[in-house]
Structures are given as structure tokens and as C-alpha cells.
Amino acid sequence: MKKFFVTLSACLFAAVAVNAQELANWNWAGQQAKTEVTADGVIFRLSAPYATVVKVNPSWTQSVEMTKGEKGVWEAKVALPAPEIYTYSFTVDGVNMSDASNLDLQRDGTRYMSMLIIPGERSAHYDDVVENHGDLHQVWYDSPTLGIERRLFVYTPHGYTDKANAKKKYPVLYLLHGAGGDEDAWSSMGRTCQIMDHLIANGEAEPMLVVMPNGNATQRAAQTLGLPQAQISREQAGQMSYTNSIVKDIVPYIEANYRVYKDKAHRAVAGLSMGGGHTATVSRDFPGTFDYVGVYSGAVGSLKDREGNVNQDTVNKLKAQQKAGYKLYWIACGNTDFLYQQNLEYMKGLDEIGFEYTWFESEGGHTWDNWRMYLDTFAPMLFK
Amino acid sequence: MKKFFVTLSACLFAAVAVNAQELANWNWAGQQAKTEVTADGVIFRLSAPYATVVKVNPSWTQSVEMTKGEKGVWEAKVALPAPEIYTYSFTVDGVNMSDASNLDLQRDGTRYMSMLIIPGERSAHYDDVVENHGDLHQVWYDSPTLGIERRLFVYTPHGYTDKANAKKKYPVLYLLHGAGGDEDAWSSMGRTCQIMDHLIANGEAEPMLVVMPNGNATQRAAQTLGLPQAQISREQAGQMSYTNSIVKDIVPYIEANYRVYKDKAHRAVAGLSMGGGHTATVSRDFPGTFDYVGVYSGAVGSLKDREGNVNQDTVNKLKAQQKAGYKLYWIACGNTDFLYQQNLEYMKGLDEIGFEYTWFESEGGHTWDNWRMYLDTFAPMLFK
């Protein structure tokens, strides 16, 4: 299996790479830009004969001014970053644009960015598998808690529709995005389908469903659909009602419509940033619902207020969660994340009440490279 | 229901429109462009203080040079086109780019374009409904005929997952794209989900599934996934094996995995351009399979070769299709379509053998505005 992925990465590398001959004969009129990954760098090229200043903005380093060459083709070589997924854009005479010649366009909230995978061990699970894909369902469910119809995405693993598995039941991971994201975030920027396809094909993770809802209570769905914001009443508003809707609306919808187990041993919840806060909240508000909890760069904090008084309600809920039992409470954060200190304070609070957790400290900050890696690390620990 | 849609269109109009006050105070730094639909035109604005020549390229008219105004904001007003979906891009100092401030980005084959809906009767079914959505499933199936795993999209209508419908079966429309498209084309450029949601909510069309496969036999899925082309053997290659795979692989997959009827009275097939050719081929190669056939701007032609000899194999197959029976054979084409004459010749051939069909001639050419309208017109005639 290892060999298979190495070969796949090599193919990908070959697909991205462009040989010199091809470039020499390249009809720039037919393609606006071309990006080449070499052994020691990434070469960006953009056809812009009438532009005055052209920059490339790679996500892994500072913007670089490109140099105008023959036929008005601008070029810049940037040092090769470590294997991961990166994004980039061009700035042409002050105007920012994605790469019109790169089909791999990612949306992060309200911004589109061109995507680039640098192949290697860390990114081995981020490209598409050639076969044994799971499916992605964009489905609408009623949310009585919020009083609206809403959309969520469901990943079902390869084999789910096989006749041989017609009576097989699956566990479920509920996977929550951060502020500014929506139900599309984990499957696009987060590469959930690719990561799960690889992990399951490798036998590293149990086949499971992954449910990706929309964490902004007033949104019916991603803003790309242009739907009007929902008018949520004051009682319905706030994070509390969204996290309630996870257990009261979403879990029942999934358990009624998919072949899944309906007990805490087969339910996990995880989320990033705001979704990490949602994860902590929903798992303690509904003790006995989730056996696996993953707080990624979570919007969590001290269990005490500014005057140093313990938030007794939260503590009581955590104690109820403790009593109901769970198998894994995994807290992950990068050591340059702006929420790093808050996560340390949160764990201090958990320590004081003897609430068990597993701490996973990584390099880096509040970014998708960490969240993809956290999912890739967390999913193999579930349902075993 | 009519009133509901008028209100919805008005809302959309309001959402697109920007008032003068808002523009005056607009912080251009936070948003690169803003497009305003007024009563008599579309105003495009792009912040590009350092650019020398800026154009806007609307799909409904010629490119227009924009004029530089205060704070480096370029502006152009273009006459309001008839209600429909249009696309546009900007050209900044010779470089083409989509509108980074417009979340509604459409992919047509290998090109991304910014989308603009002009509200009105013709486009009333193209925006998203606020509730009663159907679902969209991106699923992988085995194609023994082509020897690869492939992806297709399935629309399931609102109500499909309702408990009350747990035993209800549905009819199926197989909907095929043109050359250059893929399994994503009909749901993105074609607005299939929006059209079907509106038609079904209005009671104008029967609730049905719509299956959108990938018509390029060497593609496992849309090129956005970056998967290597499949190595299809000579025997497997060509349109013949793809159209075979529709009936031998795709229909059985759908009928095994969804609650659908399994007879010709509940199966329709339709397609545009190359997919119109596929539709004609698959419906006559498998007589008794589809009761409803829709050839949209189809790649069809005379039943005779250049020497004037009748293609007897095709005629025999059409006669078998005739004998097996069908309820509707609908041929639609725009009167400026480059395939218009070919469609007339095809119908002449059908006339000569007494093969019944319905001819729907529209204005316009080989474009998505026609294909959306054809689907919107064809779907209500099915399964009644």
C-alpha cells in the first residue's frame, strides 16, 4: 500500500511538472499561467504582456515580484516548501486574482484561492485516491431547533453501498468548522474525503460516516447559494441553540437516514476553532452522547471568570460528562496559535477537576495545514 | 406559488442592488469589486488604482472598457440583458480574471467564470429555493463496461427521505452533458437542482431523481480531482462503450441503490450536444429502456452517408425502438445553433421511416441558456 501511494505521489509530481521543451513551445494564448514544481522550488509563470507590476502571493512565504521575460511572460521561482497543501494568488497591477489556469480552486469562507499540493509524506493523504472512493452527499434536513431547513454534507465510506454490507452499520464522526466557514469547509479546504479515503483504504481508520454541518445558526447553507439569512429568534440565537441542534436535529436525521449505530460508543464529535468550542460545549451539554471528542485549535478557555470565580455550571456539566464516561477527549493546538494560551488554561481547569484528556501539541498556528493533520491523526483513534 | 417566486426574485434583486450611500462609504480595500443590477443596466466596478486598461467582459455583449474614477475605482455600465443567467470576467492590463468579490463562480469545463442572474420570468427557476430542497449526491460506481470506478451526481427530490415516503418509488431522468463538460456540468452551469426544486415545489413536474454521469469515457471524474486518465482498451473506447455503460452499469447502480421504478415507463434520458448524441444512441441501442427521450442541441445528423446510402443499422435500431414503443421523443435546437441543420436532417431521416418525435425550435444557439430552458420545459412532460 505504501508503494502505491509513493507511485501516486510521483504521478502527481509528474503531472504538475512541465518539461522545458513543452514550455518553449507553449502557446501562452491558450493558457494564462503555468505553475511548475521542481526539485528545489516552485516556478510561477503568468502571461501578462501589458502589465507593469506582477506579484505572486504564495501562502507559505512572502509575496514575490515576478520578472518579465520573453513574450510578456512573467516568472518567479520560490523556494520549495515542505510537503503540504498551499494556496496562492497573483497580483496584477494591484489587482488580486486566482490562477485561471489552475482548476483546483479552493474556497475559504468568502475567498477563492488557487491550490497547490507539494507531494510528500505529510500530504500523502490529501490527494485523490484512484479508486475505492467514499461518496459525498449534500443534503437538506429540517432543524426544528432553529426553525429552518438547513444543508449539511455527509461522507459515506467506500463499501457503504456494497450488497455485502447491506446490513452493516457504521459509526459516525460529526466534524465542525470554524467561524467564517460553512458546511463545505471540511470537504474542500479540509480534504475530508481524500483523508478518509486514504485512511480507510490503508486500514488505518475504521470505515465511518463523517457529517459536516453548518455552524453558523443563521445560515441555511453556504453563502454561495445566496439564500437569505434566517431570522432566528432571540431564544433560538447563539451558539447554545446551534449545539443543541446538533444533538436534537442533526444526529436524529443521520440516524434515521443512514445505516449507523445509535450509541455513544459509535459517535465522535470534533471541530476546529469555533467548532472546537462547539465540540466542547455539545459533548458536555449532552453527556453520554459522544465517546470520542476532538477539540482542534478550539475556542475554549479558563473555567474561571475574570474575578477568579469558577464557572460552576460548566464544571457541573463536565462532571456529568465524566460520570457518563468517554473514551477519548483529544485537545490539539499549534504552539503559535493565538488560542494556544487559552487551550493551556482550559486544560489547567480540566486538571483541577480531574477531567481526563489527551494533549497533542503541534508546531504552527491557526491554519488548515494543522486541521487536516489533526483529522488525519484523530480519525485512526476512533471506534477501536 | 407564483407570488412566492415574484417575492423571491424581488429579494434577489434587492440583494444584488447596492444603494448610493453604501457605495459612497464603501471600503474598497475590503472588497475588490461590486456589481450592481439597476432598472436599466448592470454597473460593474473594480478597484484597480494601479491598472492602465481595465475591461469587463459580459457574456451577453461585447467587452467594454471601464473608466477610472475616484480612488482608482473603475466603472462601466452595460445595458440590462433579458432575464437569464450570464457570466462575466474582468481584463486588467491584458490579464483575464474572474470577480474575486462574487462568490457565485461557475466552472464550464476548464474555465471559471463569475455568474450573474438577471431576475425575471425566464430565470425564475434558476435561483435557489428557500426551502423544500432536493439533495445532491456525489457518488462513485463501478463501471465493469469501462473497467474503472467513476463518479456521477444524483439529485433526489425533496421528500425522498421523509418517513411518509419510505415505501414510495420514484422515476429517473438520466441527464447527459456535452463534450468539455463532466458530471458537475448539469448541476453547476445547468442549475439542475434549482430547476427541479422549483418545478417540483410548484407541482409542475413529478418528483423524480436526476442522474448526471460523466460522458467522457476516459475520465474517472471531473478534472478538478486531478485523477489520471483511464486507460481504456480499443474495444472499450468510443462513444459506443460509454452509452453501453449507461444501461449496463449506471442504470443497475441507480436501481440497486435508490428507491426507483425499474421499467421504461419510469425512465427518461436527455442530453445536450454530445450528450444529445449519446441520448439518441443509447435510446435506440436499448429499445424498451426509456419511454422519454430528450435530444437538446444534439450531435445527431442525417441517417444517410455522403453517398446517399441509408445507414441500415441505425434505421433497424430506430425501427426496433419504434416497435418497443416510447411516449416522447423530444428534439430541441436553437435556430442559430451550428448543429441546427444537422438536427433538421436528422428529423428528415426520422420522417422517412415514420419515426414520431416532437420538435421544439428555440431562438439562440449552442449555449447553456437554451439547455437550462430545455430542461425546464422537458421535465414537466415526464412520467405523466
Beta-carbon separation of A137 and B133 below 8 A = no
Residues of chain A neighbouring B135 (CB-CB closer than 8 A): 137-140
pLDDT at A30: 64
| Cβ distance of A227 and B130 shorter than 8 Å | yes
Pairing of strands B328-334, B358-362: parallel
Residue B339's nearest CA partner among B269, B273, B271, B270 is: B273
Across the interface, whether the CB atoms of A97 and B94 are under 8 A apart is answered: no
Q: Do B135 and A133 touch (CB under 8 A)?
A: no
| Residue A341 DSSP SS3 | helix
- pLDDT given for residue B238 in this prediction: 61
Amino acid at A173: L
Shortest alpha-carbon distance between residue A270 and chain B (Å)? 24
Nearest C-alpha in A relative to B107: A103
Nearest CA in chain B to A132: B149
B18 pLDDT more than 70: no
Helix (H, G, I), strand (E, B) or coil at B309: coil
Residue from B92, B153, B163 to probe the interface with A (highest A Cβ count within 10 Å) = B92
Residue of B nearest to A105 (CA): B224
Partner-chain contact B11 A228, CB within 8 Å: yes
C-beta pairs of B309-315 under 8 Å, 24+ apart in sequence = B314/B284, B315/B353
Give start and end residues of each alpha helix (H) in B246-379: 251-257, 274-285, 312-324, 340-352, 368-378
What does the pLDDT look like over B143-188, one tens digit per residue?
999 999 999 999 999 999 999 999 999 999 999 999 999 999 999 9
Q: Which among B50, B111, B133 has CB closest to A53? A: B50
Rounded Cα distance, B186 and B163, in Å: 29
B224 contact residues in A (CB cutoff 8 A): 103-105
State the nearest Cα–Cα gap between B136 and chain A, in angstroms.
5
Angle, helix A192-201 to helix A368-378, in steps of 10 degrees = 30
What pLDDT is stored for residue A13 in this prediction?
39
CA distance B301 to B306: 11
pLDDT class of B102 with cuts at 50, 70, 90: very high
Contact B92 A92 (CB under 8 A): yes
User: Which chain B residue is nearest to residue A223, measuring alpha carbons?
Assistant: B103
Integer Cα distance of B1 and B8 in angstroms? 11
* pLDDT-wise least confident of B163-172, B306-315, B371-380: B306-315
Cell numbers linked to A62? 512572502
Instruction: Tell me how crowded residue A253 is: count the other CB atoms within 10 A of its CB.
Output: 21
Nearest to A110 by CA among B127, B100, B111: B100
| DSSP assigned state of A163 | G
CA angle A213, A219, A225 (to 5 degrees): 95
- Beta-carbon-side half-sphere exposure of residue A275 (alpha carbons within 13 Å): 28
Query: pLDDT tens digits for B22-67?
Result: 444 445 556 889 999 999 999 999 999 889 999 999 999 999 999 9
What distance in Å separates residue B144's CA from the closest CA in chain A?
13
Q: Is the pLDDT of residue B131 over 80?
A: yes
In this prediction, residue B98 carries a pLDDT of 94
Residue A28: per-residue pLDDT: 52
Query: Chain A contacts of B111, Cβ < 8 Å?
Result: 100
Please tell me which of the candidates B127, B149, B226 has its beta carbon nearest to residue A104.
B226
Between B307 and A170, name the one with better pLDDT. A170
Nearest to A46 by CA among A59, A38, A36: A36
Pairwise CA distance, residues A342 & A255, whole Å:
34
Provide the pLDDT for residue B239.
55
Judge: A96–B53 Cβ closer than 8 Å, yes or no: no
Contact, A208 vs A383, CB < 8 A? yes
Compare CB distances from B226 to A15, A93, A148 and report the shortest one's residue. Answer: A15
Chain B: closest CA distance from residue A267 (Å): 22
CB contact under 8 Å between A98 and B98, yes or no, is: yes
Over residues B213-249, the pLDDT tens digits come to 999 999 999 999 999 999 887 777 765 689 999 999 9
- Residues from chain B contacting residue A225 (CB–CB below 8 Å): 128
| Percent of residues, chain B, with pLDDT higher than 90 | 83
Residues of chain A neighbouring B72 (CB-CB closer than 8 A): 94
Q: Could you list the beta-strand ranges (E) of B162-253.
A: 172-176, 209-212
Between chains, do A227 and B96 touch, taking CB under 8 Å as contact?
Answer: no
Q: Which helix (H) or strand (E) holds B296?
A: strand B292-296
Residue of B nearest to A117 (CA): B226
Shortest CB distance from B96 goes to which of A32, A132, A136? A32
Q: Mean pLDDT by 10-residue block, N- to C-terminus, for chain A (384 residues)?
A: 37 39 50 91 93 94 94 93 96 91 90 94 95 97 94 98 96 97 97 98 98 95 92 72 95 98 98 98 97 98 90 96 98 98 97 97 97 98 97
How far is residue B288's CA from residue B275's CA, in Å, rounded to a whole number? 20
Locate cell 489533526: which residue? Answer: A374
Cβ atoms A76, A67 nearer than 8 A: yes
Given a contact cutoff of 8 angstroms between Cβ atoms, the answer to whether B270 and B175 are in contact is: yes
pLDDT at residue number A17 = 38
**Across residues B84-103, what is the average pLDDT?**
93
**Domains (ranges, CATH) in chain A?**
2-118 (2.60.40.10), 135-381 (3.40.50.1820)
Q: Which of B50, B93, B112 sits opposite A105 (nearest CB)?
A: B112
Cβ contacts from A onto B, under 8 A: 150
